[in-house]
A and B are shown apart, each in its own frame.
Chain A
Amino acid sequence: MNKQFEPDEEYLRRQRTRNIVLALILAGFAILFFAITLVRIKEGG
């Protein structure tokens, strides 16, 4: 039987946690790239 999918609380919780973890990882990488760029500029490489 087909019907509209309604995510339950556990589904939403996991989705939210995954989004937060992903956002933190991406933010971490952005900071890391910024730091690498600064170091490379400073070292002239």
Chain B
Amino acid sequence: MNSTVSAIALPADWRDFLALTKPRVMSLVIFTGLCGMLAAPGHIHPVLGFTAILCIAIGAGGAAALNQWWESDLDAGMRRTADRPLPAGRMDRETARDFGVGLSAASVLVMGLAIGWLAGLILAISIVYYAVVYTIWLKPRTPQNIVIGGGAGAFPPMIGWIAVTGDITLMPVLLFAIIFIWTPPHFWALALFVQSDYAKVGIPMLPVVAGEKTTRRQILLYSLALLPIAAAPWLVGGTGIIYGMAALALSGLFLGFALPVAFRTRTGEDDPMRPEKRLFGYSVLYLFALFAALVADRVIWGQEFVR
């Protein structure tokens, strides 16, 4: 077979495929999914539990690959994302798309067959929610993209819980709500200090469209709302006091980090944006600590609190 030598690109490296799955985001997804599973009442065989977490991780990786396939042009225009495999030219778009579709389909199929079709259905919804509803539909259209799109990241603990119990009750819905409310202040804190990048590629992030003042006020409102939502699993009797106290303390501290962000204005172009960076960093720690407290509470109290 003859072909033009110059047209033949190098096959993408396996590290590029890994990068396509956004491993750092995946670690949070695995952690919250695992916590949802460990906090759920009942028992799951370790092999099935491992399979469920693997499917959640692969599903998240597939959705992330589809996100990068769709946004490769936008990623090329932002400093933070310009070195990803597609904008950097280390992989072609079709390969990324096929990889994303393959991972997504495989994760749903294995989840359905091995764990149950309710868990498989919620996983499928979470993938479509992230890849289609958020990436394709909301993100380029509305500054509220993060608010509604944040739901995509809120599914893993719910799926972990359903993998054990086989049904949806109040507790997994509350775990969903916690991440749903946590996402906007987490992302808007990031958007405040990478604002110029989003503006450059025309993504209507709240600071770009509504301005910094509105964004800072919204961060405060969501941080206030997070306090009762995070404490809700304890308030409805779904957990013990260990989780309750941890939720109040961690959410109080979250508010403490959000207040300086809410009531300040940028001092100039060279503002180091330290309060915003601190809030963003703490928000990641917050979610890890809150879900760790949920599991610790379950380990200590056993099956006493079941909702």
Which residues of A line the B interface, CB within 8 A? 1-6, 10-11, 14-15, 17-18, 21, 32, 35-36, 38-39, 43
A36-B47 contact given A3-B2, A5-B3, CB 8 Å threshold: yes
Q: In which size bucket is the chain B interface? A: 10 to 19
Cβ of A32: which chain B residues have Cβ within 8 Å of it? 47, 50-51, 54
Cβ of B4: which chain A residues have Cβ within 8 Å of it? 1-2
Contact of A21 among B10, B14, B114 (CB under 8 A): B14
A4 touches B11 (CB 8 A): no
A35-B2 contact given A11-B11, A15-B11, CB 8 Å threshold: no
Name 23 interchain pairs, CB-CB below 8 A, sorted by A. Answer: A1-B4, A2-B4, A5-B1, A5-B3, A5-B5, A5-B8, A10-B10, A11-B11, A14-B10, A14-B12, A15-B11, A17-B14, A18-B12, A21-B14, A32-B47, A32-B50, A35-B47, A36-B47, A36-B114, A39-B45, A39-B47, A39-B48, A43-B45
**Main secondary structure on B side of the interface with A:** mixed
Query: Quick one: closest B residue to A34, CB to CB?
Result: B47
Given contacts A6-B5, A11-B10, A39-B48, 10 further A-B contacts (CB under 8 A): A1-B4, A3-B5, A5-B1, A5-B8, A11-B11, A15-B11, A18-B14, A32-B51, A35-B47, A43-B45
